[in-house]
């Protein structure tokens, strides 16, 4: 075997990042018009809060939960005959008619872009048979997400004393919904052309942040006289997703732009490893090579909070059994912040090691006789 430079590595490396002075707006200096507000990272880390755990009505931001439950329950291409109870629902509407047929996908776009209350009821009846039964599904989902200060009585958000959430829990609902590709695509769409068996039309997204912020990738508006202006918004920058929620916010657009910029100011980009940076060798048992070189599969770059402890953990067995193939995934290097996984990259084999063939005593005897015979006959 060729001589190799041994590169030692530790299985667990803990890096402590001290508190840094930076120019992000301090939390005490961030002023928003909202009665309730919350800003989180997509993993649930709270970056800013104001009355974030106070139960409040949320108007049409309710439809975030309506949409994700409907998406998980229904076939997007299914044709839906509009239930009579969905026709003429008060408030914002896509003006569904009695007997009209529309597919689920178009109703979802009407729900999220047009904020159509009739689309909300049509989807609820199709998914669960009634508004009440669908509200039960929404509450089941809230419970599954671990929410304790959220309760739904309808799919549209029209006023009801028993219909409420908090800015923090609504942010968690949005974070969950954004993991779904269909929801994310709908929520980020600026304009959509729909078609039913009676007509065609165009929906334009009420979320102005899609035009005002280049990083905005989704959101949902809401308003009634009782709730005031409600807004959930999502931005993504350099792989970091932030979710902002405001409830009863007279100046919500400005609130959200400030909150998102404040949030990004709390992070810094750190490159932990470059692409295929060598990190060591590993022993191979019963292999043609007693040890092989290993490396990270790609660069490891993270967005990390500036004032948080970071832990880098290498997950790798102490040894391997042959055979090992070049490029085979052997483990991972993981970056944790406050105990939460931020990012990871695979550890791969830079070379292979095949099995060594071991012979029984009679196989060895047979091979010796064969070698002797070959030497005699081949003279």
> Residue 243 is encoded by which pair of tokens?
């979710």
pTM for this model (two decimals):
0.80
H/E run at residue 268: strand 267-273
Answer yes or no: 5 catalytic. no
Answer yes or no: 79 catalytic. no
**What's the distance, CA 354 to chain centroid?**
40
So what's the pLDDT on residue 257?
98
Report phi then psi at 95, rounded to 5.
60, 50
Q: Which of 44-58, 63-77, 309-323 has the lowest mean pLDDT?
A: 309-323
Is the pLDDT assigned to residue 17 strictly greater than 80?
A: no
Task: Locate CATH 2.60.410.10 in the chain.
Answer: 1-24+268-379
Cβ neighbours for 14, distance < 8 A, ≥ 6 positions apart: 309, 311, 312
Pairing of strands 278-285, 319-321: parallel
d(C-alpha 1, C-alpha 56), whole Å: 70
More confident residue, 269 or 72: 72
List helix spans (H) across the chain: 63-73, 104-112, 117-128, 131-144, 167-177, 181-187, 209-212, 252-265, 361-377
**What's the distance, CA 269 to chain centroid?**
19
Is the pLDDT assigned to residue 31 strictly greater than 70?
A: yes
The 10 Å Cβ neighbour count of residue 105 is: 18
CATH for 31-265?
A: 3.40.710.10
Domain 1-24+268-379 CATH assignment equals 2.60.410.10: yes
> Residue 286 is encoded by which pair of tokens?
């019963």
Q: Which of 63, 141, 220, 344 is catalytic?
A: 63
**Length of the chain (residues):** 379
Q: What is the share, in percent, of the chain residues with pLDDT greater than 90?
A: 75
Q: Which of 16-20, 170-174, 296-300 has the lowest mean pLDDT?
A: 16-20
| pLDDT tens digit sequence for 144-175 | 999 999 999 999 999 999 999 999 999 999 99
So what's the pLDDT on residue 28?
53
Q: Which of 270-279, 346-355, 364-373 has the lowest mean pLDDT?
A: 364-373
β-bridge mates for residue 192, sequence order: 203
The 10 Å Cβ neighbour count of residue 329 is: 11
The 10 Å Cβ neighbour count of residue 246 is: 30
| pLDDT tens digit sequence for 306-361 | 888 888 899 999 999 999 999 999 999 999 988 888 889 999 999 999 888 665 66
In our burial notation (b when 16+ CB lie closer than 10 A, e otherwise), range 26-57 reads: eeeebebbbbbbbbbbbeebebbbbbbeeebb
DSSP 30: -
> Residue 282 is encoded by which pair of tokens?
């590993």
d(C-alpha 91, C-alpha 352), whole Å: 66
Q: Which of 50, 92, 105, 115 is catalytic?
A: 115
Give 6's pLDDT tier (boundaries 50, 70, 90). Answer: very low
So what's the pLDDT on residue 379?
59
Answer yes or no: 233 catalytic. no
Q: Which of 325, 356, 347 is nearest to 281 (CA)?
A: 347
- Dihedral sign of CA atoms 92, 95, 99, 101 in order: negative
So what's the pLDDT on residue 211?
94
Task: Locate CATH 3.40.710.10 in the chain.
Answer: 31-265
């Amino acid at each position: 075997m060729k001589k190799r430079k041994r590169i030692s590595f530790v299985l667990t490396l803990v890096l402590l990042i001290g508190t840094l002075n930076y120019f992000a707006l301090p939390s005490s200096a961030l002023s928003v018009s909202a009665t309730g507000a919350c800003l989180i990272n997509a993993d649930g880390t709270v970056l800013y809060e104001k009355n974030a755990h106070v139960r409040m009505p949320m108007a049409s931001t309710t439809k975030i939960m309506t949409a994700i439950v409907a998406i998980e329950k229904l076939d997007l291409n299914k044709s839906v005959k509009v239930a009579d109870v969905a026709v003429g629902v008060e408030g914002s509407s896509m003006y569904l008619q009695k007997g009209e047929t529309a597919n689920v996908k178009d109703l979802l776009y009407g729900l999220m872009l047009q904020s159509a209350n009739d689309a909300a009821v049509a989807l609820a009846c199709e998914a669960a048979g009634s508004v009440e039964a669908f509200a039960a599904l929404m509450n089941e989902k809230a419970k599954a997400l671990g929410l304790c200060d959220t309760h739904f009585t309808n799919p549209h958000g029209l006023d009801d004393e028993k219909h409420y959430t908090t800015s923090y829990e609504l942010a968690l609902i949005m974070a969950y919904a954004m993991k779904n590709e269909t929801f994310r695509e709908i929520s980020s769409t600026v304009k959509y052309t729909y078609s039913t068996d009676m007509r065609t039309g165009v929906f334009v997204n009420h979320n102005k942040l899609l035009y005002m912020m280049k990083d905005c990738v989704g959101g949902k508006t809401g308003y009634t006289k009782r709730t005031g202006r409600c807004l959930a918004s999502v931005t993504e920058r350099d792989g970091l997703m932030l979710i902002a929620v405001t409830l009863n916010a007279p100046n919500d657009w400005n609130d959200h732009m400030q909150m998102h910029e404040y949030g990004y100011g709390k992070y810094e980009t750190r490159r932990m490893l470059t692409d295929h940076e060598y990190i060591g060798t590993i022993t191979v048992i019963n292999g043609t090579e007693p040890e092989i070189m290993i490396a990270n599969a790609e660069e490891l770059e993270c967005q990390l909070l500036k004032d948080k402890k970071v832990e880098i953990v290498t997950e790798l067995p102490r040894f391997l059994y042959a055979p090992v193939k070049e490029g085979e995934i052997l483990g991972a290097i993981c970056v944790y912040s406050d105990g939460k996984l931020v990012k990871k990259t695979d550890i791969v084999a830079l070379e292979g090691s095949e099995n060594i063939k071991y012979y029984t005593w009679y196989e060895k005897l047979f091979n010796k006789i064969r070698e002797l015979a070959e030497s005699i006959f081949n003279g």
